[in-house]
Structure 1
Amino acid sequence: MCRWAAYRGAPVFIEELVSSPAHSLIVQSHCATMAHTATNGDGFGLAWYGERPEPGRYRDVLPAWADCNLRSLASQIRSGLFLAHVRAATHGSTRRDNCHPFVVGNWSFMHNGQISGFAHLRRRLEAELSDVLFGFRTGTTDSELLFLLALQFGLDDKPLEAMAKAAGFVEDLSNEILGHALLRFTAAFSDGKNLFAVRYATDARAPTLYAAPVCGGSGHCLVSEPLDDEKDAWVEIPDGSTVILNERGLDVALFEPATGWAARMRKAG
């Protein structure tokens, strides 16, 4: 399982999540405590928003603990909205195109989890993409494809509804082809203004997700596991939830995949 951290609020240096805390994301890359594997050394990445609508991005295949450039960038870049990820590969080789976050236009996306039986589903899932979105398919992971499906299903207009449609489509296709569906994911995604997250699994065993205020409440972070031992500061986000972080603060709501909608659309057409 991968580990990730995301932030929205008053601008802070990226190191506030990535390298400075006692259990920072870099520490989690070699010593995670809430994952199936302690080591997440199959690459890393950052996506941050600044003066332009599109995010900046830095990714590499080195383990996060082994890249001195990561610490240098994190100590110099200040941002009010950023995503950071360390990877433990489940699908796709260790190469830069498979490292999170993924970016299309102003959108960024990162993911922790898996689509069971992905090798048997991949061709049908990719066939659902438009030619334009398929052109953004540079890697081979289920994570990137889930992001592109959400874009296909309307991420620009209704982000949480689009993610529910993407998850539901994967479940429906899994049941059709495999006879069962096993989808586990905790994902964060942003349009440069809002930060969204989803925690969900078909078997109620979703990867962990926590939230906490940062810098005296001037911002919030979402993380795979707490960055320090201040247990009272961290709130676990329930399985089957969405999180929205915007100028009004943090809001948690129910997440439910939109199953069956694609079949109904095809039947109606």
Structure 2
Amino acid sequence: MCRWLAYSGSPILLETLLYKPVHSLIDQSLHARMGVETTNGDGFGIGWYPADHGEPDHVAEPAVFRGVGPAWSDRNLRELAHCVRSPLFVAHIRASTGTAVQHTNCHPFRYERWLWMHNGSIGGFPKLKRDLTLGVDASLYPHIEGSTDSELMFFLALTFGLQDDVPGAVERMAGFVEAAAARHGVADPLQMTVAVSEGTRLWAFRYSSGHASRSLFFSTSVHALRALHPDNPVLQMASEDARIIVSEPLGDLPGAWNPVPESSYAVVQEGHDAIRAFRPQVAAV
């Protein structure tokens, strides 16, 4: 499996979360505590929206940087994280579930303004791959570059209307995968925590067909954290709307992290955040 984080708030340097926390994402690439594997060294990727991307209707396409080596030893990643500042970014360290270690299989995946990354797998993927691939809209199919189940999930979600209705599209994607698995006799096929964004909002999903999903946490409000830890200088500098969603906590600061409930999704957006139930829907192509 994999580890990932997503950030939304005032612009910060990527290294603030990738390298500086006690149990940063880079530390997790070697010493994950809650993942299936302790080491996540089969590639990495970051995707970020420019700090000056403008009004919501004019969000620039995000930039993506990927590598096929382990994140902990990539000097280019360290240099980039030291100088790139963003109000919304995602980062992923990969532990392959069987597909090749190559640039096109590293997360996050991008389509126009959209970023997508995934931890988990589709059980019995070799059996289901043909049926699932045929479900992708013909206009989207040429944009699939790699061979992972994660990227195919992204393009199925796009097929089912991700650009208009993110939760509904992901629910229809999940229902489509489970229906294909049922036809092929594959039990409990879907295991996923997913992050998706178009540059202004951030969604995070936690679901598995067997209702035993991989870990996912969101940060407590900065206001509440400041009250709990008034002497912490990092919290004093963070913006009121800053939120972090992670596969596993970046440290042991009491009160900082809350689990995303089983079979639910969180949305981080201007005004108010929300957590809602996630229910796969039967979807036809």
In 2, Cα distance between the equivalents of 1:95 and 1:141? 10
In structure 2, what is the equivalent of residue 182 of structure 1? 189
Matched, 1:33 2:43: no
* Amino acid of the structure 2 residue aligned with 1:108: L
In 2, Cα distance between the equivalents of 1:249 and 1:8? 13
In 2, Cα distance between the equivalents of 1:230 and 1:112? 24
In structure 1, what is the equivalent of residue 233 of structure 2? none
Q: Is the 8 A contact 1:92 1:139 kept in 2?
A: no
Q: What are the superposed Cα offsets for residues 1-30 of structure 1, whole Å, 9 maximum, x if unpaired?
A: 100000011111111211111100000001
Determine helix, strand or coil for the equivalent of 1:132.
coil
Q: Is the 8 A contact 1:187 1:199 kept in 2?
A: yes
* Amino acid of the structure 2 residue aligned with 1:242: Y
* Amino acid of the structure 2 residue aligned with 1:241: S
Q: Stretches of 4+ moved more than 6 A in 1?
A: none
In 1, Cα distance between the equivalents of 2:272 and 2:42? 33
In structure 2, what is the equivalent of residue 242 of structure 1? 265
Determine helix, strand or coil for the equivalent of 1:135.
helix
**TM-score normalised per structure 2:** 0.89
Match of 2:112 among 92, 101, 105: 105
Match of 1:63 among 43, 46, 70: 70
Measured after TM superposition, the shift of residue 178 of structure 1 is 2.1
Determine helix, strand or coil for the equivalent of 1:89.
coil
What is the CA RMSD across the aligned residues, in angstroms?
Answer: 1.3
In structure 1, what is the equivalent of residue 204 of structure 2? 197
Aligned-residue sequence identity (percent) comes to 43
Match of 2:242 among 180, 198, 219: 219
Matched, 1:148 2:155: yes
Matched, 1:157 2:180: no
* Amino acid of the structure 2 residue aligned with 1:208: S
In 2, Cα distance between the equivalents of 1:155 and 1:204? 24
**TM-score normalised per structure 1:** 0.94
Q: Is the 8 A contact 2:109 2:115 kept in 1?
A: yes
Measured after TM superposition, the shift of residue 216 of structure 1 is 5.3
Matched, 1:251 2:274: yes
Match of 1:117 among 120, 124, 128: 124
Determine helix, strand or coil for the equivalent of 1:161.
helix
In 1, Cα distance between the equivalents of 2:138 and 2:264? 32
Determine helix, strand or coil for the equivalent of 2:140.
helix
In structure 2, what is the equivalent of residue 229 of structure 1? 252
In 2, Cα distance between the equivalents of 1:248 and 1:172? 37
Q: Is the 8 A contact 1:47 1:82 kept in 2?
A: yes
Q: What are the superposed Cα offsets for residues 26-84 of structure 1, whole Å, 9 maximum, x if unpaired?
A: 00001000011100000000000012521000001010001011111111111111000
In structure 1, what is the equivalent of residue 216 of structure 2? 209
Between 1:213-222 and 1:79-88, the stretch displaced more is 213-222
Aligned pairs (5 A) from 1:2-151: 2-50=2-50, 51=53, 52-151=59-158
Determine helix, strand or coil for the equivalent of 2:110.
strand
Determine helix, strand or coil for the equivalent of 2:4.
strand
Q: Is the 8 A contact 2:9 2:239 kept in 1?
A: no
* Amino acid of the structure 2 residue aligned with 1:205: A
Between 1:208-217 and 1:229-238, the stretch displaced more is 208-217
In structure 2, what is the equivalent of residue 166 of structure 1? 173
* Amino acid of the structure 2 residue aligned with 1:149: L
In 2, Cα distance between the equivalents of 1:118 and 1:179? 9
In 2, Cα distance between the equivalents of 1:205 and 1:70? 33
Between 1:204-213 and 1:101-110, the stretch displaced more is 204-213
In 1, Cα distance between the equivalents of 2:269 and 2:182? 36
Q: Is the 8 A contact 2:177 2:189 kept in 1?
A: no
Measured after TM superposition, the shift of residue 182 of structure 1 is 2.1
Q: What are the superposed Cα offsets for residues 152-199 of structure 1, whole Å, 9 maximum, x if unpaired?
A: 000011011000000000001100112533211000000111100100
Determine helix, strand or coil for the equivalent of 1:91.
coil
